[in-house]
Structure 1
Amino acid sequence: SSGNASPPQTLTKPALGEKEATELVGRVFGLAVSWIGPLPSYDDQNFQVRVSRGGGAAGGADEYVLKITNAEDSRQPDLIEAQTRAMMLLSAEGFPSPTPRLTKDGRIMCLQSGGTGPGHNKYMVRLLTYLPGTPVAKIAANTELFYEIGKLAARLDKALSEKFHHPSVKSLHRGQFIWNLANVPLLDQYIYALGQSQYRGLVQHVIEQFKGKVTPKLSHFRPCINHGDLNDHNILVDSCSASPEQPQYRVSGILDFSDMSYGYYVFEVAIAMMYMMVESPDPLSVGGHVLAGFESVLPLTLEERGALFLLVSGRFAQSLVIAAHTALHYPENRDYLMITAKTGWKHLTAMFEAGQEAVEQTW
């Protein structure tokens, strides 16, 4: 999810073949690729890359993610640098976040000309450590894990806000960024992508409620730097229990920092709550476990807590509208884009059918 002021349709997704990507890793990073395969991505292009360590079979292999950023975001090198430096800081602080492999000339990223697409687009290229684990989306998560994810969200924002002082941090003031939760009112301009969908009225209702009840209160919330996309595909877990009957998980990876921006602590917990709800057969109670974990580190104020229902609804609306909009322009990526939509509409409808008071009591 991307772009500063740019609407989603302007993003030019890179389209390198595996051969070009292999050559790129050799030329820029000086590494010999022994295996390469594509990974899914919303706006960018990602490859999983295995490189030989040398010493024959005994030498083993290192794994990386080759991340080729879309042409528009590549024009904002400060922003990409801020995201990458944030990952490095978090890794140094003990969080399981990827870190960059330096280029041959010692840089964390490098601008390359794309061999395909209209004109000669330039794409920012990074090679990030590959983190092991299974996305939360692929496991049957339990309440302990939801609690841990809430806790992680709070610790992460706290670390970024207290310790991230790199000069590039100023690029995280992304006023018109469509995925910033403060910008739910900007969805007005993309709502046409829903066509005559039965849900269009519900989204319009969310946007109007948000404008009236959340926007005027933003200045009362505690500001911080948000990861902004702690979804069920961006959090990886490892099993750490001996018994398959009672699985226990620990977070082994936090991915995709491309939605980082200045926001508020309450945004991060609302986003995590919404995405954990997507995967659950009992979505309304899930939010409470994520929230409890978050508040064990950072208790919310009454005003922040009072806005949660509309913040979670607002994130559902963002996810559903922007996915529909992007799928209009990238039909070949439709299946990946519409992952959340399958259950998202159902959950958003259920929240409003239950009503704010009942949902807040469950949380």
Structure 2
Amino acid sequence: MAAQHAKPNFSQPQVSEMVKRLFQLTASEVRPLPSYDDQNFYVAPREGGEYVLKIMNSEDSKNPTIIEVQTHAMSFLQQNGLPAQTAVPNISGQLMSLEESDCGCGCQKYLVRLLTYLPGVTISKVPLTPKLLYETGKMAARMDKILQKMEHPHLSILQRDKFIWSLSNVVLLEAYIGVLDGDPLQEVVKSVIDDYKTSVDTKRPRFRKCINHGDFNDLNVLVQPDDSDGYTISGILDFGDMNSGYYIHELAITIMYMMIEHPSPVKVGGPVLAGWESVLPLNEAEKDCLYLLVLSRFCQSLLLARYSVTLHPENAEYLMISSRRGVHILKQLWELGKEEVEKVWFQSAAQFSN
């Protein structure tokens, strides 16, 4: 593991000390929460309230401006009625501070924020009914529509031209394809990337631009029980992948991650699409590329998870969560083919809307 990409490794006593020093709060409970390459802690102070202390990895901590824009986006969504976390100012009135520590890779600086805690469980833990999938599609579209109105002096930092998780940059995956050497999946991934070059790249000028959350996945959406024995969305987490993209990208990402949790993955597309189109109907170019963009996101997720495991074998279990089912679903979608999958999605979306 390269030192410059050090995942933070703060202990619970260190977290209590930090919360006291920076926010004058006395932690009565501190417990770790799962994370990809940052460190998150649930903190319940004696003074009341519930929070998440988020400690960024050392690499992302070198870019405070992008974190500032993400933090601004969260509070902008919250002001516009969406359930996003907001950052709590520290005793000097700042929303972020840099903390220095040696987490096993020499002394590094880590960006620290205290965020409000949102109630609920991840959507991965509840049955994905058509109604909840519809609400998820609708929420994703509302979110991007609101973000489009956001103003900030550093918005241009979201361009992120070489950002590997952007669906504009699927071609960059070619550099990682070697991690699938000897795996029959490699051929599928290569074919998806080739189709993307011929079909998606040429239609991109007709996609509508926006700011993407970029990771509207099954672990970043929280739900709570509602009055009708179902669930309602109670939180949107993790703005670390925000980038300037296109509305259709957010929809593809949302469909892909909801598929991972569903017993009949192909059926997920219809209700998510119907919810999305209740806010933002797709144009023809966007419709035509949806299937390939969903497959492209599966390829990103699978390749980059495999690659990350080579860097962080100790975190393999967490990194491979989406991957295990994803392989199976990607093969299924590829074998069914574009026409068949689109028929399922667009017909069921139309029925839903009626």
TM-score normalised by the chain length of structure 2: 0.95
Q: Distance in 2 between matches of 1:33 and 1:10?
A: 30
Question: CA shift at 1:241, angstroms?
Answer: 3.0
Could you tell me whether the CA contact under 8 Å between 2:6 and 2:105 is conserved in 1? no
Q: 1:229 aligns with which of 215, 230, 247?
A: 215
1:275 is matched with 257
Q: Does 1:132 align with 2:119?
A: yes
Matches within 5 A, 1:155-170: 155-162=142-149, 164-170=150-156
1:154 is matched with 141
Question: CA shift at 1:10, angstroms?
Answer: 5.8
Q: Does 1:191 align with 2:177?
A: yes
Q: Distance in 1 between matches of 2:236 and 2:161?
A: 25
Question: CA shift at 1:119, angstroms?
Answer: 2.7
Q: Distance in 1 between matches of 2:326 and 2:109?
A: 35
1:117 is matched with 104
1:27 is matched with 21
Matches within 5 A, 1:78-97: 78-97=65-84
Q: Per-residue displacement from partner, 1:91-143 (whole Å, max 9, x unpaired)?
A: 11111000011111001111111232323211110000111101111111100
Identity among equivalent pairs (%): 47
Structure 1 vs Structure 2 CA RMSD = 1.4
SS in 2 for 1:187: helix
Matches within 5 A, 1:322-341: 322-341=304-323
Q: Per-residue displacement from partner, 1:181-238 (whole Å, max 9, x unpaired)?
A: 1111111111222242221111111111112211222221100000010101100000
Q: Distance in 1 between matches of 2:3 and 2:109?
A: 18
Could you tell me whether the CA contact under 8 Å between 1:9 and 1:329 is conserved in 2? no
Q: Distance in 2 between matches of 1:47 and 1:193?
A: 32
Q: Per-residue displacement from partner, 1:146-184 (whole Å, max 9, x unpaired)?
A: 00010011110000002x101122211110011111111
Question: CA shift at 1:352, angstroms?
Answer: 1.0
5+ residue gaps in structure 2? 346-354
SS in 2 for 1:101: coil
Q: 1:38 aligns with which of 4, 24, 32?
A: 32
1:5 is matched with none
Q: Distance in 2 between matches of 1:176 and 1:117?
A: 29
- Greater Cα offset, 339-348 or 194-203: 194-203
2:9 is matched with 15
Distance 1:24 1:9, change over 3 A: closer
Q: Distance in 2 between matches of 1:274 and 1:332?
A: 26
SS in 1 for 2:275: helix
Counterpart amino acid of residue 216 in structure 2: L
5+ residue gaps in structure 1? 1-7, 54-60
Q: Does 1:262 align with 2:249?
A: no
2:279 is matched with 297
2:166 is matched with 180
Counterpart amino acid of residue 13 in structure 1: K
SS in 1 for 2:227: coil
Q: Distance in 2 between matches of 1:10 and 1:188?
A: 24
